[in-house]
Amino acid sequence: MGIHELRRLGTHLGRLRGSAARNTAEAAAVLGWPTARMVRFEAGLATIRRTDLMELVGFYGADPTPALALLDGTRGWWNRYSDEIDTDCETLLILEDSAASLRTHHAGLVPGLLQTRAYTAALIGTRRDQPWPRLEKLVDLRQERARVLGRGGMEMTGLIDEAALRRPVGGPAVMREQYEHLIAMSRLPGVNVLVRPLTAEPCRAVRFSFHVFDLRVGDDGSAEDAAVQLELLDREHFEWNALEVASYRRAFARAERDALDADASADFLAGLAAAC
């Protein structure tokens, strides 16, 4: 499942809505959704339950058969986590699943796709607002996300600030395993793990954690689109404007210029692991 299947479904439902002379706010209200979620859905950036689809198509007074056929092609592996994720997380998972390339910059922590289970558990375990069984499902979810790197088809460059690598998470054993995991991940085809040392000059990117996605969105995967995800305190922000995306590309490229190359980064990580 990729973004093009979701976009076909969203486009179809958008056309049904237009034919029924309904606006997105009216359609969203039928399902009890925020209007923004309906906009995302029609853009192919959110999924929909079968019962909700039937209700929506009924509201439009249309035949559900074509929509149901399209729905069958949109089921992602994360559907079994539907009770644990919000719409921002769902959009992120769709982007990761559809990306031809990903450039990720993290100033404070190891990027999620590159985390070990123990590192993730130590991070998520600091939350006191949820019972552990639910938090453990979030750990499982993050580990499953990382499989996108092992299946091929997506190139990833992970740019990690040295400060993030030196921040202790879970104790020395957890950090040693994390350093060794980063080295192993850097050996996967299409995966580059680069360390930006503390001696590098400050630049705009060091203030933010962000991810630049290049997407395959055509029916044959040939069409292109791009998006940026910004990590905020309690939510994600997604930017699709081409000028904004270009700005983050430049910021990433500027930060990458001062990073160690792949071999030097692996040596640096090996040194950190040996010191644990």
Asked whether residue 226 carries a pLDDT value surpassing 70, the answer given is: yes
Q: Which fold does the domain 85-275 belong to in CATH?
A: Endonuclease; Chain A (3.30.870)
What is the three-state SS of 183-244?
HHHHCCCCEEEEEECCCCCCCHHHHCCEEEEEEECCCCCCCEEEEEEEECCCCEEEECCHHH
Confidence (pLDDT) at 88: 85
pLDDT, tens digit (0-9, with 9 covering 90-100), for 99-127? 899 999 988 999 999 999 999 999 987 77
Asked whether residue 190 carries a pLDDT value surpassing 90, the answer given is: yes
Residue 178 CA neighbour count, 13 Å, CB half: 31
Confidence (pLDDT) at 139: 92
pLDDT band, residue 75 (cuts 50/70/90):
confident
Interatomic CA distance for residues 62 and 162, integer angstroms:
56
Confidence (pLDDT) at 222: 47
Interatomic CA distance for residues 272 and 275, integer angstroms:
5
Interatomic CA distance for residues 180 and 270, integer angstroms:
7
Interatomic CA distance for residues 67 and 185, integer angstroms:
40
Sequence-ordered list of residues with C-beta below 8 angstroms from that of 1, at least 6 positions apart, any chain: 73, 74, 75, 76, 97
pLDDT band, residue 223 (cuts 50/70/90):
very low
Confidence (pLDDT) at 195: 97
- What rounded mean pLDDT belongs to the chain? 89
Interatomic CA distance for residues 254 and 245, integer angstroms:
14
- For the 3-75 domain, the top CATH level (class) is mainly alpha
Asked whether residue 219 carries a pLDDT value surpassing 60, the answer given is: no
Mean pLDDT within 22-47: 90
Asked whether residue 227 carries a pLDDT value surpassing 80, the answer given is: yes
Interatomic CA distance for residues 104 and 112, integer angstroms:
10
* Beta pairing, strands 224-231 & 210-216: antiparallel
Q: Cβ distance 211 to 158 under 8 Å?
A: no
Backbone dihedral angles phi then psi of residue 212, each to the nearest 5 degrees: -110, 120
Q: Cβ distance 195 to 162 under 8 Å?
A: yes
Joined tokens for residue 151:
């299946």
Asked whether residue 83 carries a pLDDT value surpassing 60, the answer given is: yes
Confidence (pLDDT) at 130: 75
Interatomic CA distance for residues 163 and 31, integer angstroms:
45
Q: What are the residue boundaries of the structural domains of the chain, listed by start?
A: 3-75, 85-275
Interatomic CA distance for residues 276 and 267, integer angstroms:
15
pTM metric for this prediction: 0.83
Q: What is the DSSP string of 97-127?
A: HHEEEEEEEESSS--GGG--HHHHHHHHTT-
